[in-house]
Structures are given as structure tokens and as C-alpha cells.
């Protein structure tokens, strides 16, 4: 192949003294950030389909046992559910404020908002704990462990199977999110982030918003449908 010599900009060479957070196979920060965002959105897509499968199962089980589901959902405390919804919406707000603070070089605000987000997540789990405790006390448990007495409508255990699976899987994602936020908080305290590099905050934020999004659908489906 005939090669003529022309000066070519070689970004990989010019970044010999590059930012420590720029990985070797990327040419620019923008490229790396865009790629990581695409990656996170793809992961979120898989979460949508994972939870979505549970939603589909719930919807079809409800179609097959309508009276059982209506009866069963009365055991859920709407007020606690609404409280949890508000708590998560608040945590989404503080999360996006944290990202904004990172992007505008406001380290203190970033840390404060991350801490509040964590606190809201913990509050959510505390409320959930009380809800679960109440269910366990009343024997409203999934599947073969259902031991609630005095049901006039049969098959209510199916509703509680889904209740525990969906809120349980969601709760696991809350815990995972708390770990991720905790990791980002630790890095923020260390001073890792600035307006040029705050991708981990942004990406963890995206995950957290999805956890909130899922609850936005879970709440009416489980607590409010009648």
C-alpha cells in the first residue's frame, strides 16, 4: 500500500501526561464520558426489562385472580406507601442536586446532597422494615408461608408472593444503590471529583433515578389499585 507521510494528530501520544482518570483506550474525556453514559443507560434498560417481567407476571396474575388481588391489597398501608414515595422523590431531587454540584465545582454541596440522599434511602428501608414486620406478624407471607386466617377470598397468597418479590427485589436495588452512593461519597470526600471529571456521580445518579422510577410504578400498582 502506497503510504505518503502526512502529519496526523495522534491523541493517544498527546495524552502521555493526561488526566489520571482518562483510560488508555479513550482519546478524550468526552469520548469516555459519552461511552460510560451509553453503558449505564444500557444497563438501566436491562433493569427495566428485569422488573418489567415482574410487572407482567403481576398484571397477568391479577387478571387471573381479580378478587383475590383487590382483597389482598387492602392489607397494605397506603399512607406508608405514599410516605415512601415522597421519600424517594426527595432522594432523587437531592441526587440530581449532587450531580449539579459536582459539575459546578461545589464540593461541599455535593457531599451534603449525597449524605441526604443516603439518609432518604435509609428512611425508605426503615419504613419498609415496619411494613414487612407487620405483614410477617399477620401471616401475610409469600407462597407456601402464607398463614393469614379468616380469608373469605382464596388465593391471596399470590398477591403477597408478588408483593414480597417486587418490593424485595426493589429493596435489594436500594441497598445496592446505597453502597454505590457511599462509594461515590467516599471519593467525593477524598476530593476525586471536579467540574472536569464527575462521571461516577452522574452514573450512580442515573441508577438511583431508575430505582425511584420503578417505585413510581410499584406504588400505585401494589397499594392503590382497586
Partner 1 sequence: MSDHTHVHGGPKLYALVLAALLVLTAITVAASRINFGSNMTNVIIAMLIASVKGSLVALFFMHLRWDKPMNAIIFCSSLFFLGLFLITCYTDVVSRPAVEPTNLKAPAPAPPSKT
Partner 2 sequence: MANVLTAAPRPVQHHAPGENYLNTPKGIRSWLTTVDHKRIGIMYLWSVLAAFFLGGVLALLIRIELLTPKQTIMSAEAYNQVFTLHGAIMVFLFIIPSTPAALGNFVLPLMLGAKDVAFPRLNLCSLYIYWVGTLMAIGSILLGGIDTGWTFYTPYSTSTGGAVSLMTLSVFILGFSSIFTGVNFIATIHKLRAPGMGWFQLPLFVWSMYATAVIQVMATPVLGITVLLLFMERVLKIGIFDPALGGDPVLFQHFFWFYSHPAVYIMIVPGFAIISEIIPVFSKKTIFGYKAIAFSSVAIAVVGFLVWGHHMFVSGQSELAGAIFSFLTFLVAIPSAVKVFNWLATMYRGSISLKTPMLYAISFILLFSIGGLTGIYLGAISVDVHLHDTYFIVAHFHYVMMGGAVIAFLGGLHYWWPKMFGRMYNEKLGAIGCALVFIGFNVTFFTQFLLGTRGMPRRYYNYLDQFQPLHAFSTFGSWILGAGLFLTAAYLLATFRKPMDAPRNPWGGRTLEWETESPPIVHNFDFDPILTHGPYDFRPARTRPNEPVAHRS
Residues making contact with partner 2 (CB under 8 A): 1-6, 8-13, 23-26, 31, 34-36, 38-39, 42-43, 45-54, 56-57, 60-61, 64-65, 142-145, 155, 157-158, 161-162, 165
106 is in the binding site of which of partner 2, partner 1, none (Cβ under 5 to 8 A by kind)?
Answer: none
Residue 210 host element (H or E) = helix 199-219
Would you give the DSSP letter of residue 105?
A: T
Q: Does 217 interact with partner 1 (rule: CB under 8 A)? A: yes
Put residue 155 in one of left, alpha, beta given phi > 0 → left and psi -120 to 50 → alpha.
left
129 is in the binding site of which of partner 2, partner 1, none (Cβ under 5 to 8 A by kind)?
Answer: none
Q: Does 71 interact with partner 1 (rule: CB under 8 A)? A: no
Helix residue spans in 148-193 (DSSP H)? 156-189
38 vs 179, beta carbon nearer partner 1: 38
Q: Provide the minimum distance between the beta carbon of 93 and partner 1 in the complex, in angstroms, as a whole number.
A: 4
Instruction: Please identify which residue in 68, 95, 110, 121 interacts with partner 1, judged by CB under 8 A.
Output: 95
Residue 205 host element (H or E) = helix 199-219
Per-residue burial over 179-191, b if 16 or more Cβ lie within 10 Å, else e, is ebbeebbeebeee
Q: Does 180 interact with partner 1 (rule: CB under 8 A)? A: no
Amino acid at each position: 500500500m502506497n503510504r505518503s507521510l502526512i502529519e496526523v494528530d495522534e491523541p493517544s501520544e498527546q495524552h502521555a501526561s493526561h488526566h489520571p482518570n482518562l483510560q488508555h483506550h479513550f482519546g478524550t474525556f468526552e469520548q469516555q464520558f459519552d461511552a460510560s453514559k451509553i453503558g449505564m443507560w444500557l444497563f438501566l434498560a436491562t433493569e427495566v426489562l428485569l422488573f418489567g417481567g415482574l410487572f407482567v407476571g403481576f398484571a397477568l396474575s391479577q387478571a387471573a385472580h381479580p378478587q383475590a388481588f383487590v382483597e389482598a391489597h387492602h392489607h397494605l398501608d397506603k399512607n406508608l406507601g405514599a410516605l415512601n414515595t415522597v421519600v424517594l422523590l426527595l432522594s432523587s431531587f437531592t441526587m440530581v442536586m449532587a450531580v449539579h454540584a459536582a459539575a459546578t465545582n461545589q464540593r461541599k454541596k455535593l457531599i451534603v446532597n449525597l449524605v441526604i440522599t443516603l439518609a432518604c434511602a435509609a428512611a425508605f428501608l426503615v419504613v419498609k422494615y415496619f411494613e414487612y414486620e407487620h405483614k410477617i406478624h399477620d401471616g401475610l407471607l409469600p407462597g407456601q408461608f402464607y398463614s393469614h386466617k379468616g380469608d373469605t377470598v382464596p388465593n391471596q397468597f399470590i398477591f403477597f408472593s408478588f408483593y414480597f418479590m417486587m418490593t424485595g427485589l426493589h429493596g435489594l436495588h436500594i441497598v445496592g444503590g446505597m453502597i454505590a452512593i457511599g462509594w461515590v461519597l467516599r471519593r467525593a470526600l477524598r476530593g476525586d471529583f471536579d467540574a472536569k471529571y464527575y462521571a461516577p456521580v452522574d452514573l450512580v445518579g442515573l441508577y438511583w433515578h431508575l430505582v425511584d422510577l420503578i417505585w413510581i410504578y410499584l406504588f400505585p400498582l401494589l397499594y392503590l389499585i382497586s
